[in-house]
């Protein structure tokens, strides 16, 4: 399946990949694995969300932030590889949800990114994952997600 065509079918437009916010790069490739640095819901937005799930934002908003973050991840992968068709498998997502102490819906928030990957890549988008509540994250973003992809030449 051509992923560009699949993106069109889903009415998805990738933003320009966000730039790293420190002394690191967006992606590192070793062998057939591509590690993508932590991304947040910043690319393509006119206003960057700041705050915690369970206080400033609810679970549905968190889901959308994770989805938007997934688009930035895909943009970084495409920038690195030249084509998303080189993705053989989404291996893992790891989410850090900036949340209040009593927030319990972390998995439902990260589903926004997980559902996006499955929609775009089909079976190749089904992955392992971890999600954690965080007391704080970079820039007070509501979520940060890092990821690992298996890729071909």
CATH superfamily to which 49-136 belongs: RutC-like (3.30.1330.40)
- The model's pLDDT over 95-152, given as tens digits with 9 standing for 90+, comes to 999 999 999 999 999 999 999 999 999 999 999 999 999 999 999 999 999 999 999 9
User: Quick one: pLDDT at residue 46?
Assistant: 87
- The model's pLDDT over 72-110, given as tens digits with 9 standing for 90+, comes to 999 999 999 999 999 999 999 999 999 999 999 999 999
Give residue limits of the domains in the chain. Answer: 49-136
Please say whether the beta carbons of 53 and 100 come within 8 A: yes
Tokens of 120: 């775009």
- In angstroms, the CA 62 to CA 110 distance is 8
The closest of 32, 37, 150 to 89, measured between CA atoms, is: 150
pLDDT for 1 beyond 80: no
Burial of 106 (0-12, 13-18, 19+ CB in 10 A): buried
User: Quick one: pLDDT at residue 43?
Assistant: 86
Q: What mean pLDDT comes out for the span 29-42?
A: 97
pTM attached to this predicted model: 0.97
- The model's pLDDT over 41-78, given as tens digits with 9 standing for 90+, comes to 998 888 999 999 999 999 999 999 999 999 999 999 99
Please say whether the beta carbons of 34 and 123 come within 8 A: no
- In angstroms, the CA 21 to CA 141 distance is 13
């Amino acid at each position: 399946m051509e992923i560009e065509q699949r993106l069109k079918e889903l009415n998805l437009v990738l933003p320009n990949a966000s730039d790293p916010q420190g002394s690191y790069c967006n992606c590192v490739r070793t062998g057939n694995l591509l590690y993508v640095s932590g991304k947040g819901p910043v690319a393509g937005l006119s206003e960057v969300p700041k705050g915690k799930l369970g206080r400033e934002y609810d679970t549905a908003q968190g889901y959308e932030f994770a989805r938007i973050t997934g688009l930035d991840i895909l943009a970084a992968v495409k920038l690195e590889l030249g084509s998303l068709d080189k993705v053989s498998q989404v291996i893992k997502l790891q989410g850090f949800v900036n949340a209040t102490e009593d927030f319990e819906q972390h998995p439902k928030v990260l589903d926004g990114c997980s559902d996006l990957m499955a929609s775009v890549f089909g079976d190749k988008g089904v992955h392992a994952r971890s999600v954690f509540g965080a007391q704080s994250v970079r820039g007070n973003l509501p979520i940060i997600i890092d990821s690992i992809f298996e890729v071909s030449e």
